[in-house]
Copies of this chain bind each other. A is one copy, B any other.
Amino acid sequence: MHLEKIKPRRVYEDVLEQITKLMSKGKINPGDRLMGEREMANALGVSRTTLREALRTLEHLGLVDIKPGGGTFVKDQNLNQVISPLALALSVEQNSFHDLWEIRFSLEVTAAGLAAQQATPENLQYIEAALREMLSCWSDHASFSKADLRFHYMIAQASQNAMMSRLLQTFVVHLYEMSLKAGYSRFMHDREGVQTINEHSRIFEAIKNRNPEQARLSMQEHLQGVRRDLEGLLEDSTIDDSNMPKV
């Protein structure tokens, strides 16, 4: 027989529930300032300590902005501060590079297709700007990588899917950092300088020409190419690709 472990209910969870409900029902709106901690704790009938645990949680979820000396404000969701709650979890959990890459691959190919359908002129402008910057500073590893990341992020943005964009950003950045640790930067130029520019251009053109299928295909090819390069590196790197929780 298999029984579920019963979790003791905690007060701060009740508090969290009350506040989140107010937010999802629109009783509290972005930009609003919440009551002071002392006042709110009193209104809820809990201690300030407990209330603060709930507020801290809200902050981690990116739902609230706590300004010392100022107050607590409901975060404006339009700010694309991509601090996904996944980010920290990713940095700690022992996920294999392979697994994360599959997810990125899946999402980014989809995002490229969506971008081709729904990118605004402004989106296209940003994507092209990132592409130009890659061209202009391809001799500077750091700047090049930065522009590279921005290129991919701008495509995610162009998908007009905020959650997709957040997820992708999180995964892409994390994978990039994992690659750096494995020493990818040294060897990047062999490929990046010549090949990547072309691939990126193709992706951009497909999006610009409103060709979703081509955009998906170009993105697919690009990511497969990058991955091939990374694979050689991974074989004898410090990236742990085996210690993954199975099932």
Binding site for B on A (CB under 8 A): 8, 12, 16, 20, 23-24, 49, 52-53, 56-57, 60-63, 68, 77-78, 80, 85-86, 88-89, 91-95, 99-100, 102-103, 105-107, 109-110, 114, 157, 160-164, 167, 244-247
Contact = CB atoms under 8 A, between A and B. Distances in A.
A247 B56 contact: no
Nearest to A16: B88
Nearest to A160: B246
B92 A244 contact: no
Contacts of A8: 68
Nearest to A8: B68
A107 B100 CA distance: 12
Contacts of A49: 49
B245 A99 contact: no
Interface secondary structure of A, over-half rule: helix
B247 A162 contact: yes
8 contacts: A56-B56, A57-B88, A77-B245, A80-B247, A95-B163, A157-B247, A160-B246, A162-B245
Given A20-B91, A49-B49, 6 more contacts: A57-B88, A61-B89, A103-B164, A105-B110, A106-B106, A106-B107
A20 B63 contact: no
Nearest to A63: B92
A151 to B, nearest CB: 16
Nearest to A88: B61
A78 B163 CA distance: 27
- A63, A77, A78, A244 pick with most chain B CB within 10 angstroms: A77
